Structure 1
């Protein structure tokens, strides 16, 4: 009987997430919100805080084929494992642009929130929130769009990497190397590429993958006042300046949830006894540490 109950609960959750979770009616047209981020960076907590404070509809990872594979058919230029959409052809870029327009205009209606019965769900909404993991290489594309607020959310690479390992999430580096994003980065990243390909240290691979994934959006966000860069650490510490900026962008009603969210994921954290917060202090690690500090202002 317990087994049948568990099967029912699991299936009803999937049904709600893929059907009722898409409904909603837009009563006003306020600026949409784009959150560019990476896994395990606090984006669930940030999105839920917005949803609790504002009338908004959450479009969850619209460029992630694992979450929304039923809406992708012939709509996105998916090319094997090029899930960061790097070095696309002109026709592929046109397809990507058209897909964004359809998302904004509601022609594509994908999973909008965790659960229709959750506190964050609102049937009536005034704006859409797009949480995007895999299009940060095209951060400049979003600054060209009208009527959107852009946030770039980032977390310390060591903490992010340890959390990704703990949840058994994939490494970003493979795709970014294969599709030659790294070739456009400064010379230090060429050496990081060599270390990445040669090392057996899994934590080092994750940190270097983080550096590859975040170099362009981080550099771009620092020099573009259309983008508000948010550090997870500042949100966690309730940095007064950052909260003031958020209220200026989102309205005085915005407030951060007191409790950070658990990820919406069926996977449970693993016990990685072989992974610690320290790396072997060798020449490669010292070079990685200095490169992270130079380009990202983070200590690891």
Structure 2
């Protein structure tokens, strides 16, 4: 049974929601999102634990909180990188134009030259080029195709009207990956310090953990920018354009309702964040249910 149809008035009709939800990208996206949620929680818990230990190094519950969060970061970050690689290779097969925009690849390199890793650039959509580009030759091919001489389809191989907005994709992806690499370094540093028996005495890592507390959530938001902006100008990639799926609602109604939703969520989020930070100001105390108070350095 086809999952969609076009009716007599040219409208796009969804007919098989099971096929839509459990599409070929579903397992990659589900695993990637679950790991992102866990890492976002782990970096936040590690940051709070590090902050509490900077104030009271002997607090047993803060020590356990900090240690467990760093275990989670050390284990989950390499797994997330692996899942991200699988997700990226699948995206390269089904949405090659999104990957080309992420990489800022306007023209395909010469045969055998390989794809560079663009560390920084200012994508120029009008002239279809990158300005101020800083790149490492061939490294892009290694993670894109697992071949130092491999190449991917470039943006100039697709119709101009099908190109997504390149700058937000280019930068959001690098924010996500950059924060992921910082979390990987945090996890490795924690393992080394743990092996040397200095994990709970290394105040520099506690300060780093405080700074990286929001890293998981920022990386998660950046990933959603890549996902949602990357499929533009389509609502349904390759089938239904965003311009053709606009509802017949007055612009003023859309603006007012959007503003109301934003104000509501800002109030709720602001109050929730204020309450959370207020609670976290108080260190975990001995009268609370939790682990045994005698937690040694090795544990």
The answer to which structure, 1 or 2, has the higher relative contact order (CA under 8 A, 6+ apart) is 1
Q: TM class, shorter-chain normalised?
A: under 0.3
Task: Return the index of the structure with the highest Cα Rg.
Answer: 2
Instruction: Name the one with the larger helix percent.
Output: 2
TM-score (norm: length of structure 1): 0.21
